[in-house]
Structure 1
Amino acid sequence: MTVPGVSGGSMAMVLGIYDRLLKHVSEITKYPKESLTFLLWFAAGAGSGAFLFSRGISWLLTTRAEGILCFFFLGAVSGGIPMILKSASVSRIRGRELICILTGILTALLIALIPQGMFAPGTENTPMHLLFQLAGGFIIAVALVLPGISASQMLYMLGIYESTLKAISSLDILALLPLAVGGIMGTYLTARILEQLIKKHREATFLMILGFMLASLPELLPGHLAQENLLFCVMALAAGFIGVYFVTLK
């Protein structure tokens, strides 16, 4: 999530741990020890990665190397697509498979068309604002669990993006509490639903998730690409694709 356009769900899917994450989140009440152990190790790794690389990546995104970095992650996400098809037990794309992928793409594009601030609650510190904070946490969790869906876009849609950033920057725990409660509820329920869908309709679910991811790929393209970096961008694209492809299909 440190890189704009690369969601946590997308990278979990690309790295082949999406199933395990869903399983441990949805079974946290059934097998608390095993699930918490896995999730804590995962959170520690994710947090360490964000801490170690966030400044470097943020700096690169403000330099001429932005395009090279974006193309590397574009290649990395693309390199995980064969693994997703393998997980869905899809050997070739035919009519039914194509419909599932297009449904995922269309759903993601329709979400992207929702006007920013459409459901803005208005004045802060009111019951309505707290309700939207709770709903915002729930929707952010859904966006984080589903690959290719932008959590920040969901905050914009609800009209609570600025107030949430303000609360985070000032460490306003009380203001963030409804968001956190909604986030926990959303993560648990979304994981439970997705796990059941994968169990009962594995191929269709994975293909729709692939559609979400494909719809998010254009977000990785840099706004401006320096001509002198074109060759390096192509090399970065190839490196990202090849690296993830061989790691995930081992």
Structure 2
Amino acid sequence: MSPTPGPSRPPGTAAAGTAPAPGRRSLPGNLVRGALIGVVETVPGVSGGTVALVVGIYDELINSAGHVVSAGRRLLTGPDRAAGLREHLARVHWRIVVPVVLGMAAALLTVAGPVSHLVETQPVLMRALFFGMVLASIGVPLRLAGGGLGPRALLVVAAAAVLAFVLVSIPPTTVAPAPLLVVLAAMVAVSALLLPGLSGSFLLLTIGLYQPTLRAVDELDLGYLALFFLGAGLGMVVVVKGLQWLLHRHHRITMLALTGLMLGALRTLWPWQLEDRTLLAPAGDWWVQLLAAAAGAAVVVLLLAVDARTRARTGHGSPEELAGVEDPDPSR
């Protein structure tokens, strides 16, 4: 009997379930990658998942999150609780996860206040800067999708772009940070963290909890932060396994959808818009915003070039990247 064919993957990729070689990445480099993710997560409209894609650790982070979730489930439900816990924790890319988390935490604790101030005082300039960064990043998931852009691929990109455009067009609201709302908002925000193109900060802004959350981080409001982390943990459990499954089983379509999400979400970063998100035509010193967008794009291009050179030197190249995410076994 011939074996059942597995899910289709881009040409030249490694077999499903083949994990990248995370040990080849430097600890200082991963600290910097985590700091970059932490910085952009404080900016409405920019996704930490986008940065993870740009710096080449997106699949490894999803893999690791999936195994942490599976480890917790095996510990609670069995069978073989201790063995199952050790098995999944051993498959977490700790050499990437630990420094990335530390870098994110350090960045959030040190730049949350200043970045919030810049977004408030220089909104047009900051949106232009990040518009250029996200625009330059769109080619990353498109490249990871592999293959050409036929009618079906264009349809997936267009549908995801329209969905993102509609979602980010919803006017922001202002609400009191009730405990249940904080938990639910954190669940939504962490889902956006895992999806390049959708910004957790922007969704918090739409819900009305962006400023209270940044203020809680800046002032170390432990009660608020405990509720927020509880919601983030619940959101991670709900979302990560589904995303892991999608990336393994439908890697190309998922990457095309992520491309569309990033494209449609650019609407949030259009420099000229009102507080109710009504878009305006370029006005005033538009050339300053154009220069800011060009600078943001140049930063991303530089990051991509440095990361590509690092991967070429260490042997962590595109075949491992395109291998996608390990197969999540639903029975474990």
TM over 0.5: yes
With normalisation by structure 2, the TM-score equals: 0.60
1:77 is aligned to 134
Q: How does 1:86-235 map to 2 (within 5 A)?
A: 86-90=143-147, 92-117=148-173, 129-161=178-210, 164=213, 167-168=216-217, 170-223=219-272, 226=285, 229=288, 232-233=291-292, 235=294
Relative to structure 1, is the Cα distance of residues 207 and 169 closer, same or farther in structure 2, using a 3 angstrom cutoff? same
Please report how far the alpha carbon of residue 150 of structure 1 lies from its aligned counterpart in structure 2 after TM superposition.
2.8
Please report how far the alpha carbon of residue 135 of structure 1 lies from its aligned counterpart in structure 2 after TM superposition.
1.4
After superposition, the C-alpha distances for 1:32-65 in whole angstroms (9 at most, x for unaligned) are 2544453221112334455676677667768889
Relative to structure 1, is the Cα distance of residues 4 and 163 closer, same or farther in structure 2, using a 3 angstrom cutoff? closer
Relative to structure 1, is the Cα distance of residues 228 and 163 closer, same or farther in structure 2, using a 3 angstrom cutoff? closer
With normalisation by structure 1, the TM-score equals: 0.76
Structure richer in helix, relative to its length: 1
Structure 2 unaligned segments of length 5 or more: list them: 1-39, 72-86, 273-282, 310-332
Read off the aligned partner of 1:83 and give its amino acid letter: V
Which is bigger in relative contact order (C-alpha 8 A, separation at least 6)? 1
2:49 is aligned to 9
After superposition, the C-alpha distances for 1:195-215 in whole angstroms (9 at most, x for unaligned) are 110100111111111111112
2:88 is aligned to 31
> Secondary structure at 2:299's aligned position in 1?
helix
1:45 is aligned to 103
Please report how far the alpha carbon of residue 12 of structure 1 lies from its aligned counterpart in structure 2 after TM superposition.
0.9
| Matches of 1:220 and 1:7, distance apart in 2 | 12
| Matches of 2:172 and 2:194, distance apart in 1 | 21
1:243 aligns with 2:302: yes
Please report how far the alpha carbon of residue 181 of structure 1 lies from its aligned counterpart in structure 2 after TM superposition.
0.8
Please report how far the alpha carbon of residue 75 of structure 1 lies from its aligned counterpart in structure 2 after TM superposition.
3.7
Task: Give the conservation status (yes or no) of the 8 Å contact 1:101–1:208.
Answer: yes
> Secondary structure at 1:27's aligned position in 2?
helix
Structure 1 unaligned segments of length 5 or more: list them: none
| Matches of 1:54 and 1:179, distance apart in 2 | 16
Read off the aligned partner of 1:32 and give its amino acid letter: L
| Matches of 1:184 and 1:151, distance apart in 2 | 14
Percent of aligned pairs sharing the same letter: 27
Relative to structure 1, is the Cα distance of residues 177 and 228 closer, same or farther in structure 2, using a 3 angstrom cutoff? closer
> Secondary structure at 1:176's aligned position in 2?
helix
Task: Give the conservation status (yes or no) of the 8 Å contact 1:71–1:220.
Answer: yes
Which structure would you say has the larger Rg? 2
Greater mean alpha carbon deviation, residues 147-156 or residues 222-231: 222-231
| Matches of 2:155 and 2:57, distance apart in 1 | 25
After superposition, the C-alpha distances for 1:159-214 in whole angstroms (9 at most, x for unaligned) are 54565456445533234323211101212332221111010011111111111111
> Secondary structure at 1:31's aligned position in 2?
helix
